[in-house]
Structure 1
Amino acid sequence: MQIGFIGTGSMGSILVEAFIQSGAVSPEQLVVTNRTPRKAEQLAESYPGLQTARSNREAAAGTQLLFLCVKPMEFKAVIDDIRDVVAPETVVVSITSPVQIRHLEELLPCKIAKVIPSITNYVLSGATLCIYGDRMTDEDQARLELLLSHISAPIRIREEHTRVSSDITSCGPAFLAFFVQKFVDAAVAATGISETEATQLAAEMTLGTGRLLTTGGFTPASLQQRVSVPGGITAEGLRIMQKELCRVFDDLIRTTHAKYDEDVEKVEARFFRP
């Protein structure tokens, strides 16, 4: 299977490298292009056999699977470039959440999917969110999820849940890293433990907690209950967090959704400008 990538910025390059490093594909199966050619060339230098294309049309032509890894406001120009070179059986995959399936199905003659990756895919972990257009067959979906399963846990969601799901899987690593950083900063300031040591402890804790919540059989609520002894240190810490942090998460979801709605409106205007 020939796989194309239009856009090799942060997330595009993560997917390319993860697919190769996981053994899901060989470099020879990939053709990439970027509006800054040097970025595509650097990937080709790192992975001999990987092909670079000089244009979006060249990257799209002849591919069975085409990932569009560009910013929302760049999508319309890319679609205009490729619409007459993608075949009906080609699967075009958007990784950009504000661009809706219907936007792409109205303007392209092929099969459409939306996949929201995460930086955690770089270490062959985390989730990828999968949303499918009406032209995607069960076989198409299974083939794409098999590819994604080499670097993640593919999870099907409804498109109306894209934003909140992305908050958890894609924005979540940054949010969790912020929490860990503040935890480390407070520990260093209060006790004099070195930042290096505290960060190592926090990182191992985060990794272990993830395993407990995935393969360990715990839910977030049951894990808190198991660790917390009534009247103990953990219980007192949880009491403070319950008091101080709950509103933060409500505000967080409201803020990310407001930004998403704004981005969707901008995309609508760009795609369907009179």
Structure 2
Amino acid sequence: MAKTAYRKPKKKVHVFDIVNYIVFILIGLLVLVPIWKVVVDSFNAVGVYQFRLWPEDFTLDGYKTIIHTQRLYRPFINSVITTVLGTFLGLLLSTLGGYVLIQFDMPGRNFFAYFLLFTMIFSGGMIPEYLVMKQLHLVNSMWILVVKHGMNVYNLVLMRNFFEGIPASLFEAAEIDGCSPMGIFFKIVLPLSKAALASIGLMFAVTVWNDYSTVKIYITNPDQVNFQYQLRNMIMDGDTPTTQYSVSQNTLFYAAIVCAILPFMALYPFLQKYFVKGVNIGAVKE
């Protein structure tokens, strides 16, 4: 007797799935089209403002001009230094603060937790903040970018939630073996928190790298400004640098925008899986 071939049941196509795909495709296009326009115009020697899928007259003079503009060198180095140190300080305070807040037997734990959450809703304002930074001698110094973004309560809460997801049996086993609280932190908590460290570290890095408003308010010394602020001045003031390359103003500005976002565009694909995993685990509790 011949065996009847097994056929998989056909999957029904729901209207909701179709609409969902269309909506997300449109959202993706809304995000990608402006980026693609900026990239195309950065390679286009024609300075007329219009949308093109490909460069009409391909050129690299915009990027060559930025590379040979010496006044961008110091701000770029300042941005790299402040981004690295700001990310390190932010991760240090967020991990230590999150680890402290999961110590359920610590006196005053709830008070400190609510006190930190209070600062997410209310702040002193710009003038009190300026006076504090002035007392700390951080006005007119690039180190203000490191200190100002060193503590982010939202990232601290995410890190605390991530730590709470670590099985309590690991902490108990380490205590039985005679491990100190800081030993548990360095030998157990941090090695298990690579996803959270990558995702939150990326948040700190993007925040410090893209911050030009703080520089605009607190810094007047041109040697202390960062890369974003210098590029902003070039774009907003129409201050085109003089070099050996003949390039239109629009081409140069779009090339500057690409250079500003290029480091994280290259870094994000390598951290994407950690970013998604870290945020989901830190924000969703079972």
TM-score (norm 1): 0.29
Q: TM-score, normalised by structure 2?
A: 0.28
More strand by share: 1
Task: Report the structure number with the largest CA radius of gyration.
Answer: 2
Question: Could you say which structure has the higher helix fraction?
Answer: 2
Higher relative contact order (CA 8 A, sep 6+): 2
